[in-house]
Structure 1
Amino acid sequence: MKKAIVGILVLLMIVALYFYHSKNRSLQVNQEYILVYDVSANDEADYNYADYPKIMLNKGDRALVKSIEGHFVEIEVNGERGWINDWYITASKPVNLVSNEIKYVLDATILKPFPEEAAAFNYDEVIESGKVVVIQAEYEGWYCVQILRYSEPLYDNYWIRKDEVGIVDDEDIREGKIKLNAELLTLSGKTMSEKIESYIIVEAYNDEYLKFDAPGGIMGLIKISDFLPIKSYDEL
């Protein structure tokens, strides 16, 4: 019985991969396509090793396909070339825009370069539990998000399943700012001379203090009452 179930699952995976691969075959070199969503084009057909973004492209741009490599296509827009995943010119449903909605990552997960499982891609952009994400768009069961990187959001193509983000309790929010004139301590408990105005990432240290990380590799302690978690887009 178990072998039969395994066999069925393998068959379903093969069928799914066939249909996913077959959509790529319909693409034609020297054919123009319309981008279905904003995307940053890389300098090679890869996610983890490309020096990206090479160029930033917008939904509605007309992209001329110059070459195809697996599920990556080299496109030319306004005389500039770069590589993108073929989903950005083959998606069958519209991408709906969302206006800067704040949510939080419920459990550590791996982000996706486009809104599908992307199992064939070795994409290693991990996002930790409690991270703040800014929802920019949605496609079926997926959100396209911007990620806060201390002083500003990181703009790129990061997709996460809708059920992997949500609203959390204040003590589970790991990003925010320090109250003005709050006392900062080193990890050894001494008063810290640095002034930190940017965002910090925190974790519970004990019942009274939080341990935080700040830009420049600065680590220290603050009282829980001196931490201001991000709760809305206006606080970014």
Structure 2
Amino acid sequence: MNEHKPDWYDRMKQGPFRERTFTDERMDDILRQARSGTAGRLVKGWHYAAGFAAVLILFFVIYTQQPAWFGSQTNAPAASPDVTLPPVSEPPPTEEPESQVYYVKGETGAYPAPEYHTMEPPAFTVMPGMAVKKKGAAESGFVLIEADGREGYVYEWYLTKDAGERTVQTVEPYVLLVGEPLKFRMHPEEAEPSGFTLHAGKVVKVTKEYEDWVCFDMITYDQPYEGEKWVKRSELAAWDPAKATEGKLRPGADVYEGKMIPAELPADDVIYLKEKLEGQTYQIQSAGGFTGFILYQDFVPNPFLPATASNWLLTPSEVREFEAYSQIKDDEQLRLLKPLDVFQYYVYAQELNDAETVYALYMKDDGYELPDYETYTNDLSRDPAERERTLQLWEKLKMGYSVKEEIDGDEALIRITPVNGGSPEDTKGFRLVRNADGIWKVAWMPMQ
């Protein structure tokens, strides 16, 4: 069967190079163009293309291989170094929120329970400026605090946000009297007094002050009362031994259980004058519940006197000798007395407000300064507060100072020293001199 063959079939059979295209004439033509510069432009373009290709190749190598000077290679992961991680520490303790931290503006006790009239002593004491943590809301005026790992209840009034506030001042104790019946508060800002009534003649010992308020201790006879007691200073009367109804029994004094029936009162027990009977006899009751009878002269006002105060006090027999001297005021009655005895006479006479006996005890020999009696008494009358200051001084000294006699020839010094140490500036002296008759008398202005 004859098939029809198209024209291109015959041309394909003749091959692709049936005619010569790269002849000698064509070669000569290319050389002529090269010499004329056309080929130079072609060569320069080829150089640019070759340079661009080289840059591409270099970029490809850098990107894919990352030589060592550019850091670790990406095509082979580096071995992990042996790194020791720091130990995981516990987070620091969380600080207390500032709103819970308060400061104490005065020394006070922290009690086991929030009770007004507690019988329990404080669990511990917090001092002025101490930082404490307030735990919870106030309860009956108290608030629970934590201080140095201990917990207790304090009056919320004592807490302040001001770390520098020290408005409650602890003072050297001194005694005052209840003049008119009054009730006390547990802190100065208590709306109404929560304390019970104190009656006239009761002795209180002031330990702290705040503005025109004072905080005091007192003796209770049925049960202890450990809470704080505050009143305005103006509500209390100045110390006056003649008005005090609480004190102690004079060393060596007799106590009677009934009419002339001797009894024994516990040593150093506190007593109060329950009732005045005939003459100078008083019925007394002690803090321990004892009831008996004493002579008034054997009553020593001030229940806060320590045992060390005994060398300030006259014995019952010495009181009788003093009374005899105060009647006659003859120096011969002093001849057998030592300087300390004369000193005790002087203090006792001032406590009795016996100006004549006080003046009689002064040194009157020529050459010694002493105003006449009229000038002396006029000076006393012009300064009524002087007696109050004098009585307060003696009572303060008796509560915290001991006395010792020192003799140097015709001079004697009663050295008055703080019982609990103190500084040399706290030591005081009382001067006496021996007169021409060899009798010890008090020098004018004796306190040094």
The TM-score range, normalised by the shorter chain, is 0.7 to 0.9
TM-score, scaled relative to structure 2: 0.41
Shift of 1:190: 3.4
Letter in 1 for 2:145: I
Whole-angstrom distance in 2 between the partners of 1:49 and 1:170: 30
- Change in Cα spacing, 1:29 to 1:194, as seen in structure 2 (3 Å) is farther
**Contact (CA 8 Å) 1:43, 1:82: kept in 2 or not?**
yes
- In structure 1, the residue matched to 2:235 is 164
Matched, 1:178 2:241: no
Whole-angstrom distance in 1 between the partners of 2:114 and 2:287: 32
Relative to its length, the structure with more strand (as a share) is 1
Shift of 1:108: 2.7
Matched, 1:103 2:209: no
Relative to its length, the structure with more helix (as a share) is 2
Superimposed CA distance per residue, residues 110-150 of structure 1 (whole angstroms, 9 cap, x where no aligned partner): 2211112432x7x3344332222222221122101122468
**Contact (CA 8 Å) 2:265, 2:290: kept in 1 or not?**
no
- In structure 1, the residue matched to 2:143 is 73
CA RMSD between the two structures:
2.9
Shift of 1:109: 2.1
1:196-207 alignment, distance < 5 Å? 196-198=266-268, 199-206=270-277, 207=279
TM-score, scaled relative to structure 1: 0.73
Identity fraction in percent:
25
- In structure 2, the residue matched to 1:209 is 281
Whole-angstrom distance in 2 between the partners of 1:30 and 1:194: 58
Letter in 2 for 1:58: M
The structure number with the bigger radius of gyration is 2
Shift of 1:176: 1.7
- In structure 2, the residue matched to 1:235 is 398
- In structure 1, the residue matched to 2:186 is 113
Whole-angstrom distance in 1 between the partners of 2:289 and 2:119: 26
Q: Which structure carries more relative contact order (alpha carbon 8 Å, separation 6+)? A: 1
Matched, 1:143 2:306: no
Superimposed CA distance per residue, residues 69-92 of structure 1 (whole angstroms, 9 cap, x where no aligned partner): 354321100111112221101397
Superimposed CA distance per residue, residues 38-75 of structure 1 (whole angstroms, 9 cap, x where no aligned partner): 12222333323684523322222111111113543211
- Aligned match of 1:132 in 203, 222, 237? 203
Letter in 1 for 2:246: E
Whole-angstrom distance in 2 between the partners of 1:43 and 1:181: 41
**Contact (CA 8 Å) 2:119, 2:225: kept in 1 or not?**
no
| Secondary structure at the counterpart of residue 128 of structure 2 | coil
Superimposed CA distance per residue, residues 160-202 of structure 1 (whole angstroms, 9 cap, x where no aligned partner): 211121225433201222223322122x313223144322111
Superimposed CA distance per residue, residues 196-218 of structure 1 (whole angstroms, 9 cap, x where no aligned partner): 43221113412321111113211
- In structure 2, the residue matched to 1:85 is 155
Superimposed CA distance per residue, residues 16-57 of structure 1 (whole angstroms, 9 cap, x where no aligned partner): xxxxxxxxxxxx886211101112222333323684523322
Whole-angstrom distance in 2 between the partners of 1:130 and 1:56: 31
| Secondary structure at the counterpart of residue 116 of structure 1 | coil
Is 218-227 or 163-172 further displaced after alignment?
A: 163-172
**Contact (CA 8 Å) 2:283, 2:293: kept in 1 or not?**
yes
- In structure 2, the residue matched to 1:17 is none
Structure 2 residue runs without a partner (length 5+): 1-96, 303-390, 400-448
- In structure 1, the residue matched to 2:128 is 59
**Contact (CA 8 Å) 2:186, 2:195: kept in 1 or not?**
no
- Change in Cα spacing, 1:234 to 1:127, as seen in structure 2 (3 Å) is farther
- In structure 2, the residue matched to 1:13 is none
- In structure 2, the residue matched to 1:15 is none
